[in-house]
Amino acid sequence: MADEKIYTPDEIDDSPLPNQFESADYSSSQTYSDDVTSPAKTKENRPPTMKIAYELIGSSLNTKSKKILAEFQFTESGAIQIGKYENGVSGDLRLTPNGITARDLSGVTTFAIDATTGNAVFKGTIQAESFVGGAVYVGDNSIILDGTNRRIVVNDGDYDRVVIGSF
């Protein structure tokens, strides 16, 4: 190994790295009147300003008008909450695999639909052009509109006092 010869170049040329340009020549100057020279002036080169999208107008969603313009597909998820309940300020609506519930700003449930049983509770008035049901129980079940057996029963708490239809 002592007899190995090492070769070195006489002169190493400066060569730029890939995608690198040679540096600019700042030795030039400008001449003004009275033969006074000064360095060349370069324009101020500020970095570009970042553009932030404050609104999105697309084929499906318009954030400026706050409108959904097309159909969206939902993916499987645990739940969706619309609004944030704050006592005395705002209510909320929750959609879960077990049902839908809504609360008003006092925390009272205004409606609830149980997805497992199909039961529904409403705080306010239910209004419809038509209603189809097997039986309607009014109040404490003292009045029963029984569509399946085609009868109306009025009970005083102990006995059926009025029965319209067959028994």
Q: How many domains does the chain have?
A: 2
Q: Residue 130: its pLDDT value, please?
A: 87
Instruction: Give the number of other Cβ atoms within 10 Å of residue 131's Cβ.
Output: 10
Q: Which sign does the torsion angle of CA 22, 25, 26, 32 carry?
A: negative
Residues facing residue 57 across a β-bridge: 62
Pairing of strands 120-122, 80-82: unpaired
- 162, 153 Cβ separation under 8 angstroms: yes
Among 147, 167, 163, 166, which Cα is nearest to 155's? 163
Q: Residue 108: its pLDDT value, please?
A: 94
Report if residue 82 sits inside a domain: yes
Q: Residue 94: its pLDDT value, please?
A: 94
CA-CA distance, 129 to 60, in Å (whole number)? 34
- 107, 94 Cβ separation under 8 angstroms: no
Pairing of strands 37-39, 29-31: antiparallel
Same domain for 100 and 113: yes
Report if residue 145 sits inside a domain: yes
Same domain for 119 and 136: no
Report if residue 16 sits inside a domain: no
CA-CA distance, 165 to 114, in Å (whole number)? 33
Domain that holds residue 91: 77-127
Report if residue 54 sits inside a domain: no
Q: Residue 39: its pLDDT value, please?
A: 67
> pLDDT truncated to tens, each residue of the chain (167 aa)?
567 888 777 777 777 677 766 666 655 555 556 666 666 677 788 888 888 776 666 777 887 888 888 887 777 778 889 999 999 999 999 999 999 999 999 999 999 999 999 999 999 988 888 888 788 888 888 898 888 888 889 988 888 888 888 76
Q: Residue 87: its pLDDT value, please?
A: 93
Among 145, 105, 135, which Cα is nearest to 123's? 105
- 82, 89 Cβ separation under 8 angstroms: no
Q: What is the value of pTM for the model shown?
A: 0.47
